[in-house]
Amino acid sequence: MAKKTLTIILLFLPFVLFGQTIKIDSSSIGTASRDYSTIQGWEDAKDGDLVTQDSTRKGVCYDDSDFNELVDIDGSTTSDSTFMWLTVVGASRNDGTAYNGAVIDYSGASHGNGVDAIDVIDPWTRVDWLIIRDWVTAGNADGISIEAADCHFKYMIIADGSGSGFISSGGDNSIVDNSIVHDMGIDGFQGGAGTTDMTWRNCTAYNNGQDGFDGIDTGNPDNIALNCLSIDNTTDYSNVDAAAGADFNGSGDTSASVFTNNDQNMVATTEFVSVTGGSEDLHIKTGATSIDAGNTIAAITDDIDGDSRPQGSAYDYGVDELVVVGTREIIVF
């Protein structure tokens, strides 16, 4: 009986987030005797008027087995302190690659024309630490479609699909931090028509079929990229106007030249640990141009691995902050 009482207390334990105290209703998601066996099952059970209920709904994914589903986060009344939050338990979080951690993996199966992996329709939604991988469709289907304002995405990896990684069609004031998109059929990160005040910070786009980052400010007021790294996309930065404050970005072509502080003509094999297809590792390597090339962002204090920023004299470009391990001299007699 004591154990059950303690569990109930923990599920609704107040939590301080961005200086606010919120009440969290936490549930596990997975196939090994978890609260819910699917992400959508959790969402359907937990959505509602979260403002009146004064509660944030937190779904915690476990890497018991791969998820294979389409997810709609929709139907809730939310606020900055009461929202839907999909995350991953510590031991099941990605390791900075698309091949280890809790994953929505479609194994190349088609889910129809224009069907996105995760549609986010509730404002203030948070999603972090998930991998979305390997789905194809007959039309433009994307990893995460941001259709609501004030959302926040962190430590995400989206790879090997037929559409774009992140696309916004109403994600005003939304933020994507420390996230990777690689080997998608269209764009890595797309601002979307009419989206305003969207921010990408310390994100990495690699080898996407069209643009790495598309819609930074041009026709999309005040959408900005900061400390981002974009290499080997058809165009690394497209429809870009740095007037809104986008700066400190690197590219494999010359498209980063629009930013006041930039690096151009960067080479993937020089920057990344591995670009071998099917085992890409987009951590940066010793000697990369990305090292110490970025700028301080007060809200970004770590990288996709949880390593603190900065490690050197300045932030590194992209999702990874290179940790320099100390060496010692060994004298052999």
Domain ranges of the chain: 1-92
Q: What is the pLDDT of residue 137?
A: 62
* pTM: predicted TM-score of the whole model, two decimal places: 0.90
Nearest-angstrom CA–CA distance, 254 and 231: 10
pLDDT of 6: 35
Task: Give the confidence band of 329 by pLDDT, cuts at 50, 70, 90.
Answer: very low
Average pLDDT over residues 91-113: 85
CA–CA gap between residue 167 and residue 175 (Å, rounded): 12
pLDDT tens sequence across 137-193: 656 678 999 999 999 999 999 999 888 999 998 889 999 999 999 999 999 999 876
Tokens matching residue 253: 């072509």
Question: Does the pLDDT value for residue 85 go beyond 80?
Answer: yes
Residue 219 has pLDDT above 90, yes or no: no
Nearest CA to 323 out of 271, 285, 272, 294 is that of 285
In this structure, what token pair is assigned to residue 91? Answer: 């031991």
Confidence of residue 107 (pLDDT cuts 50, 70, 90): confident
pLDDT of 333 higher than 80 = no
To the nearest 10°, the Cα dihedral for 25, 7, 103, 49? -10
Could you tell me if 54 and 77 are in contact, meaning their C-beta atoms sit under 8 angstroms apart?
no
Strand partners, 175: 152, 199
Give percent above pLDDT 70 in the chain: 85
Taking a C-beta distance cutoff of 8 angstroms, is the pair 83, 126 a contact?
yes
